[in-house]
Amino acid sequence: MILKHRLLVSAISLAVFGAAQPANAAPWVKGFVVSSYEYSFRYGGRAGFTREGEIEPGVDCRHGSSTHFADDTRTKHAVAQQKWRSQQEVDWIAAPPGLEKVRGPNLTRFFIWDRALSHRGYKKEIETYVNPFAAEDPGQPEVTGRIGDGFNLDGKIKNTDFVSAEGEQGIDHALYRAWGCDAPWRGNGNATLHLRANDKMHDGLYTVVIRVTGNKDPMNDDNAMVEIGYSPDKIVRDARANVATDYSYRILQTQMYTRLKATIRNGVLETEQVDRLHVPRIAWFYDQVGDANFSNGRIRLNIAADGQSATGLMGGYRNWRDLYAENTFAQDGGQQGIREHEDHVALYYALRRNADGMYNAKTNRFDGISSAYRLKLSSAYVVDAEKGMDVPKLLAEEDRKQAFEETRLAMIKGADTRVPQLVPPGTSEAAVGIMEILVVDLPSKDFFLKTLYRQRYAGEDENGIPPWMPDLQKRMKEELARNPAPPPKPQQEAREYGSATP
């Protein structure tokens, strides 16, 4: 049936994009599948830099890019800020004694850091990433440049606004100011988290499609209609791994879907600004997949003359708490931060500091932050599903998705009430269960197991592995098996490490 729809739409498209247009143009339809989907951040690397445009400080990030937890010195500085830690604890976290004697020393250190960095609040029992407000602001380098991509969302021109590269004033893109110097979101098309999200999208994690219809000329129509939403169909790639053109995709008119009026002038499409723009959100794990929900949202597309591709922007105000949760709890805050050299506590404060929309009269604060996403589109046939259907679920991942949602809600409750929240079950926050396995060969393991706080859950086994991670020990052993076995430990050395006290 999809093929039949494709042939029907193909016939309409040929009539539209074929040779001469009749005097009274017929109704037309054009579809796209999103091939690249990322935050619309700019990069101002200096000319001649060997990796121009990647993470080098440029005119937009004169204070540099984030380098949190990039080495033991930076990690030591982070954990030294908690006055309840002893100097020995600070020193040993940064450089765990006996690390050279374990299988997978880097992995072991990684998760010791994860456990420690997950507890940087005013009390050691407070988990940092669910309760970032309870930790001191580590400071986040922010964008200092004035050029930015996006929209004038509030209709005003303010001193704090950006100016587009084309000279448009009043651009509201506070997310760029807050996160534009965060290393994994920074790069000239090769930022690590942009690459990861696009790669997972191409692999079938989720699909975004756009359908444009009108009654005049596809390149000039003052009464067009845009539909954007989720498709249950995986992206089709060609032999070179590029997104293939002219394949059929269904569009679901469910939660992640919006219909907008639009005008097109010389191939530039501008939609109306709507109170709620529901679209799929950027994700690289299943638990993140869901509705992005922009307030005062709009879309701009530049359609190629041949109709085979388009580029554009989508923007509006997003709840900054949701942005924090989507970036932090994809795995857990410690893993994400150490691997990507970003500190989510710093990102939390940067979001809160730069929030500029969705005013909340009860709190006298802004709940939203102006944002813009960059889109690249490939021609496709976008058709309605034959029967009504909802977004498909991955049953094997639903428990993790539920844990993500509960963790997000706990973080929001804590941020709103300033009352520290426990970490809901189902997550790996604070390296729960993981660190216990990895330190098994570490001479100083008793010190870390005794000193580094972690929340306990009902149903944990004797190794501290929670019930929602039944295969964790097997997976960690497989990971360690890729490393050579540690040499035998002298008994005296083992006693010395074991006798250390906080």
Range list of H helices, 18-118: 72-79, 87-94, 105-117
Residue 490 carries which DSSP code?
P
Per-residue model confidence as pLDDT tens for the chain (502 residues): 444 344 444 444 433 443 334 445 689 999 999 999 999 998 765 555 555 444 454 568 877 788 899 999 999 999 999 999 999 999 999 999 999 988 889 999 999 999 999 999 999 999 999 999 999 999 999 998 889 999 999 999 999 999 998 999 999 999 999 999 998 888 766 788 999 999 999 999 999 999 999 999 999 999 999 999 999 999 999 999 899 999 999 999 999 999 999 999 999 999 999 999 999 999 999 999 999 999 999 999 999 999 999 999 999 999 999 999 999 999 899 999 999 999 999 999 999 999 999 999 999 999 999 999 999 999 999 999 988 899 999 999 999 999 999 999 999 999 999 999 999 999 999 999 899 989 988 999 999 999 999 999 999 988 888 999 888 767 776 766 666 555 544 444 444 444 343 3
pLDDT number for residue 183 = 86
Interatomic CA distance for residues 406 and 423, integer angstroms:
9
Contacts of 239 (CB under 8 A, 6+ apart): none
As a whole number of angstroms, the distance between CA 111 and CA 431 comes to 6
Number of CB atoms found within 10 A of residue 393's CB: 11
Quickly tell me which residue has 């935050």 as its tokens: 39
Instruction: State the number of CA atoms in the 13 A half-sphere of 424 facing the CB.
Output: 18
**In the prediction, which pLDDT does 47 show?**
55
Rounded Cα gap, residues 208 and 283, in angstroms: 12
Question: Tokens for 71?
Answer: 């080495």
CA distances from 26 to 22, 218, 221, 266, 380 (A): 8, 10, 12, 18, 20
CA distance 339 to 485: 24
Q: Can you give the length of the chain in residues?
A: 502
Please report, as a single letter, which amino acid is at residue 58.
G
Q: What is the CA radius of gyration of the chain?
A: 25
148 touches 174 (CB < 8 A): no
pLDDT, position 483:
61
Cα angle 310-311-315, degrees, rounded to a multiple of 5:
130
The per-residue b/e assignment along 414-447, b for 16 or more CB within 10 angstroms, e otherwise, is bbeeeebbebbbbbbbbbbbbbbbbbebbbbbeb
DSSP character for 282? P
* pLDDT at residue 54 in the model: 46
Looking at the DSSP bridge assignments, the partners of residue 32 are 210, 379
Q: What is the pLDDT of residue 48?
A: 55
Alpha-carbon distance values, 427 to 102, 130, 343, 463 (Å)? 26, 11, 19, 17
Q: Are 38 and 197 in contact (CB under 8 A)?
A: yes
Are 150 and 171 a contacting pair, CB within 8 Å?
Answer: yes
